[in-house]
Amino acid sequence: MTGTEITIQVLTCSALAGLLGAVGLRLTWREITTALKQCRLAAILVVNFAAIPLLALAIASGFSLRRDLVIALILLAASPFAPVVPVFARMARGDLALAAALTGVLPLAAAFLTPLLVHAALMVISGAGALQFNLLSSLTNLATTITLPLVTGVFARYRAPDFARALLRPVEVTSEALGAVSFVFVTATQFRSIMNLGWRAWLAIILVSEISLLLGWKVGGPTAPRGWWWHLAQAIAISHSLCSWPFRASMGWR
């Protein structure tokens, strides 16, 4: 692993841990469990772990992308979570409890299901058989950077609410600053690779992303008794967001 890769991993993991810890400081166990009970969890899992990977495979094949780009798109499509979703939900004043609950649940499911899905999809791609997954590394990274900070934040609010309120703003400001630095650093160091993707790859990514958002909106439920901002935040929370690409370095692929 190069120095640049280590820096990216440290920045992204630190920012994500802080952001999710701050989300946890805003929530209670009851809010999270209630949100999970009220959402369409079965439909969410089917969309995330079946519909979107199939969609990505079809679009990648239809655009005749290079093998490495097809693999990358399938990996993204089969990893149905974006750790920053609760942050977007908070900014949009959406269902923060639902966003946090799904952010905590989906990565754990993905650690088991994603390798199986990707292996099945890559069987149709020539020369992709060498790709391997480290399940233990994936679970460890996901637990330490997503689940643990989220649970720690909720527990802190439960045990010491005054301390949690005092800690909330400093954690949010610090982690958001780290996130901005991480975004700038990744963009600057990987700019040439990003520009070399080509218009077909960008169009494929946009199509998968936008269709995923629409599916998330649909599964979120058209009859929720709140405004359109709430619908959008819920759709983002349960859709397959492709903005999780900076986090792939900590997913344990090798």
pLDDT tens per residue across span 147-182: 788 889 989 999 999 999 999 999 989 988 988 898
Q: 93, 7, 65: which is closest to 200 by C-alpha?
A: 65
The CATH T-level fold of domain 3-250 is: Na+/H+ antiporter like fold (1.20.1530)
Q: 235, 231, 179, 181: which is closest to 20 by C-alpha?
A: 179
Stretch 199-227: mean pLDDT, rounded? 73
SS3 category, 224? coil
Q: Is this model's pTM higher than 0.85 or not?
A: no
What is the spatial distance between Cα 83 and Cα 221, in angstroms, rounded to a whole number?
22
Say which range, 10-24, 93-107, 140-154, has the weakest mean pLDDT. 93-107
Main-chain dihedrals φ then ψ at residue 40, nearest 5 degrees = -90, 75
Q: 233, 206, 234: which is closest to 220 by C-alpha?
A: 234
Lookup: tokens for 16: 């994500």
| DSSP string for residues in 108-151 | HHHHHHHHHHHHHHHTTSTT-TT--B-HHHHHHHHIIIIIHHHH
Select the more confidently predicted residue: 59 or 83.
Answer: 59
DSSP letter, residue 246 = G
Q: 251, 219, 248, 224: which is closest to 235 by C-alpha?
A: 219
| DSSP string for residues in 35-65 | HHHHS-HHHHHHIIIIIHHHHHHHHHHHTT-
Most confident option among 32-41, 47-56, 158-167, 237-246? 158-167
Listed by start position, the domains of the chain span 3-250
Say which range, 54-68, 129-143, 194-208, 213-227, has the weakest mean pLDDT. 213-227
